[in-house]
């Protein structure tokens, strides 16, 4: 079957086969990029498909395959630039794989939205779930032990229950802090931690963006023989621009001396830059600044922001690959796949 516009005769697979002088099976194999035939035959059939405007009826195809042709992406919210970009990239990747994407949001934290989503997932409308786990979600291994295709994205622990694809936050923050130290910074301020800072506990973090990134900064300082002053490790609130501004202003008002800032996302870094400018502090001459996520605005700030690459280029195709493996029913063990980050050097560092 094929899709057609109202008032226009539908072009069928039989029309394609007759016009190309091949069997229905051969025409179907060209449509599905399968089967054995000469390159000449494949090219001839494809030319007929293009010329006649044949389009596959995805509903009929998916019904025959016992598939919905849809993947669900669940994120805690879409307002953060990182999550909005993740959604766009997943949609593009799924389209190239022949799938549509439902994007849904859930209430994180004590609301237990992700848990309810996992329990109520409807496999009659979607073939699998890509879950971006909230920083303050409290899921257990049992919650993630589901009987449908599930791939987790982000820095939260999944206990090996399902496929997990993430940027290596410890490596990324270690490299970010090292980048500043190697360019002259010795008193690093850290914006984006959570709760009261305790170095021993923070150095053992195994979960969450904030925890893992703080651990990476600690490791970099230890490697370079630089002391991380607890008074310069500041809670980042909800990691919004205003939180970054307030955090740096708080340090300035308290007379804290710092010459480098590791901000745990680019929105915090934007707030940091704004506060430094408001106080007449030169960047990068007096203070270097580095962020995370390379959001669109980062390259157009004045000065343009040095940041850590979120590696969507590697993470999203890997997520797509793991999801297709699960949908196909292949019996392979769940994998934890960590993608290393890299510095995108701009003008807020020397």
Between CA 339 and CA 350 the distance in angstroms is: 26
**Length of the chain (residues):** 350
Kindly indicate the confidence band of residue 2, based on its pLDDT and cuts at 50, 70 and 90. very low
Any domain includes 6: no
Same domain? For 188 and 242 the reply is yes
Residues 179 and 229 in one domain: yes
Alpha helix segments (H runs only) across 97-144: 113-120, 141-144
Render pLDDT for 32-76 as a digit per residue (tens, 0 to 9): 777 789 999 999 999 999 999 887 665 555 545 568 899 999 999
CB 290 within 8 Å of CB 308: yes
| 297 and 186, same domain (yes or no) | yes
306-308 vs 233-235, strand pairing mode:
unpaired
Torsion, Cα of 130, 136, 141, 146 (10° steps): -30
Alpha carbons 52 and 46: distance in angstroms, whole number: 10
Examine the domain organization and report whether 29 and 151 are in the same domain: no
The reply to whether 346 falls in a domain is no
> What does the block give as tokens for 77?
């919210």
pLDDT in tens, 94-103: 998 889 999 9
Write out pLDDT tens, residues 298-347. 999 999 999 999 999 999 999 999 999 999 998 899 999 999 999 999 99
Could you tell me which of 136, 142, 141, 140 has the C-alpha nearest to residue 154? 136
Same domain flag for 91 and 131? yes
Task: Tell me whether strands 343-344 and 336-339 are parallel, antiparallel or unpaired.
Answer: unpaired
Question: How does residue 6 score in pLDDT terms, banded at 50, 70 and 90?
Answer: very low
Q: Which of 234, 72, 76 is nearest to 155 (CA)?
A: 76
> Average pLDDT for residues 278-291, to the nearest whole number?
98
- CA proximity to 73, closest of 99, 112, 109, 110: 99
Residue 7 has pLDDT above 70, yes or no: no
Number of domains in the chain: 3
For 310, list phi and psi in degrees, rounded to 5: -75, -10
Q: What are the pLDDT digits (tens) for 70-106? A: 999 999 999 999 999 999 999 999 998 889 999 999 9
Within this chain, do residues 136 and 241 fall inside the same structural domain, yes or no? Answer: no
Question: Are residues 147 and 46 part of one domain?
Answer: no
Separation between Cα atoms, residue 81 and residue 214, nearest integer Å: 21
Contact of 214 with 204, CB cutoff 8 Å = no
Query: With contact defined as beta carbons under 8 Å apart, do 315 and 339 qualify?
Result: yes
Q: How much is the pLDDT for 110?
A: 62
DSSP H or E segment with residue 74: strand 70-75
Q: Which domain holds residue 38?
A: 13-64
CA distance 52 to 54: 6
- Within a domain: 343: no
Q: Are residues 175 and 263 in the same domain?
A: yes
Rounded to whole angstroms, the Cα distance separating 289 from 270 reads 10
Convert the pLDDT of each residue in 219-277 to its tens digit.
Answer: 999 999 999 999 999 999 999 999 999 999 999 999 999 999 999 999 999 999 999 99
Among residues 227, 268, 254, 279, the alpha carbon closest in space to that of 82 is found at 268
- Tell me, what CATH number does 315's domain have? 3.40.50.2300
Separation of alpha carbons 263 and 192, rounded Å: 6
């Amino acid at each position: 079957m094929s899709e057609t516009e109202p008032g226009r005769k539908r072009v069928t697979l039989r029309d394609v086969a007759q016009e190309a002088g091949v069997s229905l099976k051969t025409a179907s194999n060209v449509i599905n990029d399968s089967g054995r035939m000469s390159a000449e035959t494949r090219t001839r059939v494809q030319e007929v498909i293009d010329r006649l405007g044949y389009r596959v009826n995805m509903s009929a195809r998916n019904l025959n395959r016992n598939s919905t042709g849809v993947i669900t992406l669940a994120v805690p919210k879409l307002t953060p630039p990182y999550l909005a970009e993740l959604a766009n990239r997943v949609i593009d990747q799924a389209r190239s794989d022949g799938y549509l994407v439902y994007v849904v949001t859930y209430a994180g934290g004590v609301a237990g939205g992700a848990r309810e989503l996992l329990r109520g997932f409807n496999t009659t409308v979607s073939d699998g779930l890509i879950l971006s786990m909230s920083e303050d979600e409290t899921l257990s291994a049992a919650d993630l032990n589901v009987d449908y295709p599930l791939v987790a994205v982000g820095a939260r622990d999944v206990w090996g229950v399902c496929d997990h694809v993430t940027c290596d936050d410890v490596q990324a923050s270690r490299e970010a802090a090292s980048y500043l130290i190697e360019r002259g910074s010795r008193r690093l301020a850290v914006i984006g931690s959570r709760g009261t800072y305790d170095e021993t506990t923070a150095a053992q973090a195994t979960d969450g963006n904030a925890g893992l990134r703080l651990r990476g900064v600690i490791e970099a300082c230890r490697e370079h023989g630089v002391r991380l002053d607890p008074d310069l490790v500041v809670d980042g609130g909800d990691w919004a621009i205003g939180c970054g501004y307030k955090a740096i202003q708080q340090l300035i008002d308290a007379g804290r001396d710092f010459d480098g800032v590791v901000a745990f996302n680019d929105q915090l870094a934007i707030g940091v830059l704004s506060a430094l400018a408001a106080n007449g502090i030169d960047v990068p001459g007096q203070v270097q600044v580095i962020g995370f996520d390379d959001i669109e605005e980062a390259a157009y700030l004045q000065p343009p922001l040095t940041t850590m690459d979120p590696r969507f280029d590697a993470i999203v195709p890997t997520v797509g690959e793991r999801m297709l493996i699960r949908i196909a029913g292949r019996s392979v063990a769940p994998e934890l796949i960590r993608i290393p980050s890299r510095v995108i050097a701009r003008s807020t560092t020397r």
